Amino acid sequence: MCLAVPGRIESIREEQGTRMGKVNFGGVVRDVCLAYVPEAVVGDYTIVHVGFALSRIDEESAIETLRTFAEMGLLEEGLAEIRGEAPLDEPALCPLPPAEAPRR
């Protein structure tokens, strides 16, 4: 339902009391309302929907998710769970993100 796109915050300013900023989406720059991401700073990536930043993208979670995708280990873990076994591989090197990954 909701097309939201990641972009990098390039600048932040106050405009009539509202926190606004320029966000760069792969070379396309738009004005975005940053009122809902008070913690975000220049350089952060944020998810933007209809001109509003809704969430700061957590780089650690992103890296972890990608590392998980890159490994085939996750398939074996899924199989193991169904068979009622412990995961075959010790997931220390490439852990699945926990169901609710803690944020920085």
Partner 1 sequence: MKHLAEYRDGDTARRLAAGIGKIVTRPWAIMEVCGGQTHSIIRHALDQLLPPEVELIHGPGCPVCVTPLEMIDRALAIAALPGTIFCSFGDMLRVPGSHGDLLGVKAAGGDVRVVYSPLDALELARRHPDREVVFFAIGFETTAPANAMAVRLAERGGVKNFSVLVSHVLVPPAIAAVMESPGNRVEAFLAAGHVCSVMGTLQYPPLCDRYRVPIVVTGFEPLDLLDGIRRTVVQLEAGRHELENAYSRVVTEEGNAVARAVIADVFEPCDRTWRGIGTIPASGWRLAERYAAFDAEHRFAVGGIVTAESPLCRSGDVLRGAIKPSSCPAFGRECTPRTPLGATMVSGEGACAAYYHAGRFAADREGRR
Partner 2 sequence: MSDDRPDMSRPACPSPLPHHDRIVLGHGGGGGLTRELIEKVFLPAFTNSVLADLGDSAVLPAAWFSSNGGERLAFSTDAYVVQPLVFPGGSIGDLAVNGTVNDLAMRGARPVALSAAFILEEGLDVGVLSRVVADMARAARTAGVAIVTGDTKVVERGRGDGLSITTAGIGLVPAGSRLGSRPAEAGDVILVSGTVGDHGMAVMSVREGLAFEAPIQSDSAALHGLVADLLAASPDVVLLRDPTRGGLAMTLGEIVAENGIGIEFDEGAVPIDPVVASACEILGLDPFQVANEGKLVAVVPAAGADAALAALRAHPRGGKAARIGRVVADHPGLVVARTPYGGTRIVPMPLGEQLPRIC
Q: State the binding partner of 29 from partner 2, partner 1, none, CB within 5 to 8 A by kind.
A: partner 2
Q: State the binding partner of 94 from partner 2, partner 1, none, CB within 5 to 8 A by kind.
A: none
- Does residue number 38 form part of the binding site for partner 1 (CB under 8 A)? yes
Beta-carbon contacts of residue 57 (< 8 Å; ≥ 6 apart)? 6, 44, 45, 46, 47
With b for 16 or more beta-carbon neighbours within 10 A and e for fewer, the 14-47 pattern comes to: eeeeebbbbbeeeeeeeebbbeebeebeeebbbb
Q: Which residues bind partner 1 (CB under 8 A)?
A: 1-8, 16-18, 25-26, 33, 35-38, 45, 47, 49-52, 54-55, 57-59, 61-62, 64-66, 68-70, 72, 74-75, 78-79, 81-82, 97, 99-101, 103
